[in-house]
Chains A and B, each alone.
Chain A
Amino acid sequence: MIYREVGDFKTTYRDDGQTFPIHFDRMRYYVVLLVAFCVVPFIVNDYWTNAVLLPFLIYAIAAIGLNILTGYCGQVSLGTGGFMAVGAYACYKLMTSFPDLNIFFCVLLSGAITALVGMLFGLPSLRIKGFYLAVATLAAQFFLVWMFNKVSWFYNYSASGQINAPERTLLGYKITGAETSAPVTYLFCLVLVVILAIIARNLTRGHLGRSWMAIRDMDIAAEIIGVNPLKAKLTAFGISSFYIGVAGALLFSVYLGAVEVGEVFGIQKSFLVLFMIIIGGLGSIFGSFAGAAFMVLLPVLLKNVLVGMLGWPTDIATHLEFAIVGLLIVVFLILEPHGLAQLWRIIKEKLRLWPFPH
C-alpha cells in the first residue's frame, strides 16, 4: 500500500535519478526536515539539546564519515578518535589565532585540515589491506592523541593541557561559549548535518561512490575495469576525514566547550563510531543516522528508565546499561548483520505489499 511506485510516473531522466524516487518516501523526507527545522527548535530545552540532540547530530556526521571509508570503500579504520581530535584542535587553533573568522568556516576549515591529515595516514592503505590497515590506523589514533598531549603549541601552552572554546557568534547568535541558547546550537549543527548528509548521499550515488564500492567489492577487479585505486582510496580517506574532522570540531566547540584529548578522543571514541556504523548499517547514509541515534539515545533512555523511573542505584543502572548495550550489539550482529538500515529496508518492502503479502 505504502511505498509503492505505482502511479508515480517519471517523464524525465532527472526525475528518474532523484534521491528518493518513491513519492511517499520523498514526502516523508520533507516532513522529517520540516519537523527538524520548524518544530524542534521551538520545543527544545537545554537538557534536550545538550544531552540528546547535539551528540546525536555530531555523531551522525562522524558516522557518515566513517561509513564513507569503511562502509563504502571497505577500508577499516580505527583512527576515528584521533581524526576527531585533529578536527577539534584545528578548530581551537583557528578560533584562537583568527578571532574574526566566522565559526562556520572555522568548522569547515578544521574539516579540510583533517582531510589532509587523513589522506596522509591513508597512504599506507595503498599497500596494506584489512586487518593490517586497521592496525595502521590504530597507530594513527595513538600517535595523534599522544601528539596533542605532548606538543603544547596545540593547546596554546595552557597549564592544564585543556582546550577551551572561546565565544564565537554567527549572525549575532552565540554558537560557542557558555551563553549559547539551545535552539541556536541545535540549528547550527542541524544545518551542517543536513548539508553534509546530502553531499554524502550524492557522492555515493555518483562516479566517485561507485569507484569506492568497486574497490570495496573487489579491488583487483576494480583496477582491471579502470578504477584508479590511488584516487579512490585517497579520496575516500580525505572525504571521510573531512566529515570526521567536522564532527570533532563541533564536538569540541559547540557541544563540550572544553576538551582533553586523552579522555574525549581516546580509542573508545573510535570504537563508539565503529559500533554506530555496524549497528546502523555499513554502506548506508540512513544507517549512520540510525546507528548514531541508537548509541547516543539508548544509554540516556536506559538511565532515565532505570534511575529516573524505577529509582535504582546509579551504579547498578550503569553496569546494566553496559550489559544491555553490549548484548544488543551482539544480538544485532547475529540477527541482522546489515544493521538497522537493513531492517528499515525490510520494513519498506513489507509495507509495499501490505496488506496483501502474496
Chain B
Amino acid sequence: MQIPIRMTGDRIDEWVIIELQGALESSLGGDLSGKEIGTLSYTKEGAPVLIVGHHALFGKEVVLDKPLGVLVKKQQQQQQESQEQCAPAFDIVASVKRKIVFKSRPRPIVTQK
C-alpha cells in the first residue's frame, strides 16, 4: 500500500505550537470547542506571558531542532479509470519551526474579590 504525503497549493504555511505542561481541562467539563484558553502577551525582551484562569505562566520561545509537519488525512475521489473509489492521502497543511514553551510552575494570581 502506498499513501502519498504532499503539499496542496503552492506553499506550506508556518504555524506555531504553544506547549503546556500536563493536560488541559475545562472548568465546565466536556467540549472545549470555542472556549477561551487565556491571553498571551510578550515582554519587550521577547518573553511570553500566558494568563490562564487565575494563573500566570512565564515561558520562552524555542526553535525546534527538527521542524514538525502538520498532516491532515484526506480521502480523494479517483477519476473513472481507477477501480478504487477513494485513495487515502495526507496533505501537509503546515510546518512548525518554533514553539512557545511554558514549563515553569504557574504563578497563582490572587484577586481582591
- Indicate, yes or no, whether A interacts with B: no
